[in-house]
Structure 1
Amino acid sequence: MSRLLEVSGVSKTFDGFRAINNLSIAVDEPELRAVIGPNGAGKTTFMDIITGKTKPDEGTVVFGDKSISLVGMSESKIAREGIGRKFQKPTVFEAQTVRENLAMALKNDRGPFDVLFYKKNRDDSARILELAEEIGLADQLDRMSGELSHGQKQWLEIGMLLAQDPRLLLVDEPAAGMTPAEREQTTDLLKRAAKTRAVVVVEHDMEFVRRLNCKVTVLHEGSVLAEGSLDHVTANPQVIEVYLGR
């Protein structure tokens, strides 16, 4: 296991509100990490800063073996460095089949013309099947993505991110709106993905976090309040007061 992401002394203020306050977090590769905390704790801003959507006022964000600085790098360049992000609401191409969605996402060097004149090769077909099996949609490959359930769309989007082979996958509230069976399958999917890469899951649902069975970071007012196993952090009096007691 080696250090993949190092966020050090990062702060960010929006209109006088300090969303992130001297935040330091390190993530290893491979690792599964859950990030929890009350609303306004800075969870989304934390992900925005890593992916280049938001530039911090101070601090450093360093990624990968060569310790590349992500601060000031464009969102597309950060994605190419190997950071994938899944937002809460699934964004899949609903008028395309599951197979077509995965094919479009495969990590090939594709300019606009390559995508237009894309021809499937045998390696791609095998990889698409492998991805579909990993996300539990192997029997849905020829179905229109718009017909999938909410949970299945979430899995398809995770599959599309995995197709790009990211080293770090950021996943925002994957359990929201899922049936209990879908949530169970989602935890299994994320645990499998985290065997070969870093997966950071932002989640409110404690039962879902418990099933992930991983290290938990609790954010509060833009800083790390506690870190450790779920049992360890939920026994912390400050965590009980600011988060669990509500």
Structure 2
Amino acid sequence: MSTLLEVSGVSVSFDGFKAINNLSFQIAETELRAVIGPNGAGKTTFMDIVTGKTRPNEGRVIWGEKSISLLRMSEAQIARAGIGRKFQKPTVFEDQTVRDNLLMALKKERGVLAVLLFRPSPADLARVDELAEEVGLACELDRLAGELSHGQKQWLEIGMLLAQEPRLLLVDEPAAGMTPEEREHTSALLVAAAKTRAVVVVEHDMEFVRRLDCKVTVLHEGAVLAEGSLDHVTANSDVIDVYLGR
């Protein structure tokens, strides 16, 4: 399977503190990866670098078959290239329906006139129905997003990201604040999404990571400490020392 994203020898310093220290990371075109590590390990900074929010002091970030450098691109260009990011707190349009939220997120021409004149086609409406089904909100299409539970808002935001047809989805702590049932649904949703794209999940909840049943990358002090299955990394003595506590 070909590599979709390659981060190579990347370092970032903030006021002399190395948030990312010679980090290298690769993910394939259709792969699910969990990234874990203690607070301050560099997980958020890693996502900031991939999405163009933070520029590294050194290293390379290479994207796609044409080996394009993401470091030469703006945040908007990176998003258009197919990298979607979901932050921990869901950001949905609360006074709009679920259907309208998904329609607004569809991959379309984004000019002012195009947005003002937008009228959904039958294909657009069918795609929204499909997305709602995929994220488990098919029965909620006419509800205002503000009326949804916390977990449902998270699913709606994932649906909005999927509407943009990203090739890589970065998801930050999706299980936070969810009920056990919601966590189960969310893990299934992400596993399904990774069948057609790359998905990177930053998470603290080990039970949730176990449900994902995927390769795990452990970060510590801005570098990769261990990589492999969850059982493999949690048996690693270095990981036990820095993350799990003896």
TM bucket (normalised to shorter chain) is over 0.9
Identity of aligned residues (%): 77
Do structure 1's residue 155 and structure 2's residue 146 form an aligned pair?
no
Corresponding residue for residue 12 of structure 1: 12
Task: Give aligned pairs, total.
Answer: 246
Distance in 1 between residues matched to 2:242 and 2:110, nearest whole Å: 47
For 1:162, the aligned partner's letter is L
Distance in 1 between residues matched to 2:242 and 2:100, nearest whole Å: 45
Structure 2, unmatched stretches of 5+, are none
Do structure 1's residue 109 and structure 2's residue 99 form an aligned pair?
no
Deviation at 1:72, TM superposition (A): 3.4
Deviation at 1:104, TM superposition (A): 0.2
> How do 1:1-246 residues align onto structure 2 when only pairs under 5 Å count?
1-245=1-245
Distance in 2 between residues matched to 1:132 and 1:86, nearest whole Å: 17
Deviations 1:88-125 (A, max 9, x none): 00000001000000000000122111111110101001
| 8 Å contact from structure 2 (residues 109, 115) kept in 1 | no
| 8 Å contact from structure 1 (residues 5, 63) kept in 2 | yes
SS at match of 1:54: coil
For 2:136, the aligned partner's letter is G
For normalisation by structure 2, the TM-score amounts to: 0.99
SS at match of 1:71: helix
| 8 Å contact from structure 2 (residues 10, 23) kept in 1 | yes
Deviations 1:138-175 (A, max 9, x none): 00000000000000000000000000000000000000
Distance in 2 between residues matched to 1:163 and 1:112, nearest whole Å: 19
Distance in 1 between residues matched to 2:13 and 2:72, nearest whole Å: 16
Distance in 2 between residues matched to 1:222 and 1:123, nearest whole Å: 44
For normalisation by structure 1, the TM-score amounts to: 0.99
Distance in 2 between residues matched to 1:203 and 1:110, nearest whole Å: 32
Distance in 2 between residues matched to 1:86 and 1:59, nearest whole Å: 25
Deviation at 1:188, TM superposition (A): 0.3
| 8 Å contact from structure 1 (residues 55, 72) kept in 2 | no
For 1:128, the aligned partner's letter is V
For 2:184, the aligned partner's letter is E
Structure 1, unmatched stretches of 5+, are none
Deviations 1:157-203 (A, max 9, x none): 00000000000000000000000000000000000000000000000
Distance in 2 between residues matched to 1:165 and 1:236, nearest whole Å: 37
Deviations 1:37-68 (A, max 9, x none): 00000000000000000000000000111111
Deviates more, 1:71-80 or 1:195-204: 71-80
For 1:180, the aligned partner's letter is P
Distance in 1 between residues matched to 2:71 and 2:37, nearest whole Å: 24
Which runs of structure 1 show a deviation greater than 4 angstroms over 4 or more consecutive aligned residues? Answer: none
